């Protein structure tokens, strides 16, 4: 599977003759399985029609910073959060300078400032402009901020000059974009991740459960796999496809999940408990469907096993990461759980907010460990998972 499969990419197109190549970049990104949205500057529209980019991408082209229809739907902040990668190709000398100075006087500029996603630019300009000290200083500044510079190529330019400054070819740009999602930060590590809800039976047709979709756990598994880890996913019942190239173990109840977790964590390096496990189960499960009897019914419940605590206790050398899904006093409850369950770290989020957490495509969390805390602002669960895995690999795992 391509490293760009299911990645969300904003292709920014700025003014320049190389804009005609952007149509091919869209195609090549889609060939690799990416979902592409195009954002054009007004100058870019002078070189290639937005209608062309819309037809190729299959989505409306965004260009106006103040667009009432866009702001009511996928406005610039939503676009910024949606993306896994902001790829600007071509990136003109003028727009690169605007990026350096943080200008947000265009939709593309505003997205650049607002996105938590990776950012890459493919410069395209005259060779003299590229070689100018101001342009070179701007490129250095962007690189120091973590922006990936793709190219430029050299050769004959539209003006007749020969030298560096041509935009890289689409295949090369797409290849470089793909490499941004391949890393070896967790190469050789074995990771077990629990995901989804558990179901605790009341009778053959009814059960206790919750709204967990499994999206966050699956996104973490995919990010860990892309980071080079050998990943096992222990998941409760979900309706989304299992992460590819991961060992997948399907379970139903908390006891099932505990048994699978203990078995797989024994030789793991990292355990991430992203599942939303039911706290209680029925003391007695009826053999037959429970019939309606009167206006009230009492069901006796007993506590389920605490999976993350059990795994941490059974494996003293294992780095265990818990999740705390709270509706109030999020950080306070999370810190208490971190200490009480002897975890290496905990990831806390507020599930009372309807636009993040359970069943949502976005999330916003706090990473808390023994010595620090990091806030990951609202972004797609795909992007959030990659950011968490990168933080975990760089700061917590030896």
Catalytic positions are 159
Measured on CA atoms in the order 370, 375, 378, 383, is the torsion positive or negative?
negative
Task: Compute the distance between CA of residue 281 and CA of residue 303 in angstroms, rounded to an integer.
Answer: 6
DSSP per-residue codes, 182-205: ---TTTT-EEEEEESB--EESSSS
Please check whether residue 232 is in contact with residue 245, taking contact to mean a CB–CB distance below 8 angstroms.
no
Q: Is 11 helix (H, G, I), strand (E, B) or coil?
A: strand
Task: Compute the distance between CA of residue 284 and CA of residue 374 in angstroms, rounded to an integer.
Answer: 43
Here the tokens at position 3 are 């490293």
Task: Compute the distance between CA of residue 227 and CA of residue 186 in angstroms, rounded to an integer.
Answer: 5
Q: Is 207 helix (H, G, I), strand (E, B) or coil?
A: strand
Please check whether residue 250 is in contact with residue 235, taking contact to mean a CB–CB distance below 8 angstroms.
yes
Q: How far is residue 382 from each of residues 174, 207, 361, 362, 387, measured CA to CA in Å?
A: 19, 30, 8, 8, 9
Q: Running DSSP on this structure, what letter comes out for residue 304?
A: P
User: Could you give phi then psi for residue 89, rounded to 5 degrees?
Assistant: -150, 110
User: Could you give phi then psi for residue 333, rounded to 5 degrees?
Assistant: -65, -35
Here the tokens at position 24 are 């091919």
Q: Running DSSP on this structure, what letter comes out for residue 168?
A: P
Please check whether residue 202 is in contact with residue 181, taking contact to mean a CB–CB distance below 8 angstroms.
no
Task: Compute the distance between CA of residue 168 and CA of residue 171 in angstroms, rounded to an integer.
Answer: 8
Task: Compute the distance between CA of residue 100 and CA of residue 144 in angstroms, rounded to an integer.
Answer: 11
Residue partners of 265: CB distance under 8 A and separation at least 6: 192, 271, 311, 314, 315, 318
Four-CA torsion 250, 256, 258, 263, nearest 10 degrees: -70
């Amino acid at each position: 599977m391509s490293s760009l499969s299911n990645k969300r990419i904003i292709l920014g197109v700025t003014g320049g003759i190389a804009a005609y190549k952007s149509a091919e970049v869209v195609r090549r990104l889609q060939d690799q399985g990416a979902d592409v949205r195009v954002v054009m500057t007004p100058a870019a529209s002078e070189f290639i029609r937005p209608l062309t980019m819309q037809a190729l991408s299959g989505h409306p082209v965004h260009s106006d910073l103040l667009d009432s229809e866009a702001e009511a739907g996928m406005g610039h902040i939503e676009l910024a959060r949606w993306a896994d990668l902001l790829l600007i190709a071509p990136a003109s000398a003028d727009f690169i300078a605007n990026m350096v100075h943080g200008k947000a006087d265009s939709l593309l500029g505003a997205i650049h400032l607002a996105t938590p996603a990776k950012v890459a630019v493919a410069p395209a300009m005259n060779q003299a402009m590229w070689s100018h000290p101001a342009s070179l200083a701007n490129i250095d500044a962007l690189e120091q901020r973590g922006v990936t510079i793709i190219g430029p190529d050299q050769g004959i330019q539209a003006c007749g000059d020969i030298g560096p400054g041509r935009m890289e070819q689409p295949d090369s740009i797409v290849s470089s974009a793909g490499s941004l999602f391949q890393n070896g930060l967790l190469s050789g590590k074995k990771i077990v991740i629990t995901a989804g809800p558990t179901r605790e039976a009341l009778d053959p047709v009814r059960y206790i459960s919750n709204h967990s979709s499994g999206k966050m756990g699956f996104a973490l598994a995919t990010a860990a796999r892309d980071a080079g880890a050998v990943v096992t996913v222990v998941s409760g019942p979900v309706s989304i496809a299992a992460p590819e190239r991961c060992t997948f173990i399907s379970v139903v109840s908390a006891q099932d999940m505990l048994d699978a977790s203990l078995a797989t964590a024994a030789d793991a390096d990292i355990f991430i408990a992203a599942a939303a496990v039911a706290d209680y189960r029925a003391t007695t499960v009826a053999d037959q469907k429970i019939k309606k009897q009167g206006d009230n019914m009492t069901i006796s419940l007993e506590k389920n096993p605490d999976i993350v605590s059990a795994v941490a206790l059974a494996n003293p050398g294992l780095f265990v990461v818990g999740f705390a899904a709270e509706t109030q006093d999020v950080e306070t409850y999370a810190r208490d759980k971190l200490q009480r369950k002897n975890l290496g770290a905990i990831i806390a989020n507020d599930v009372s907010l309807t636009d993040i957490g359970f069943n949502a495509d976005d999330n916003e969390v706090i990473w808390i460990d023994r010595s620090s805390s990091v806030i990951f602002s609202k972004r797609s669960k795909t992007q959030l998972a990659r950011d968490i895995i990168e933080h975990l690999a760089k700061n917590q795992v030896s």
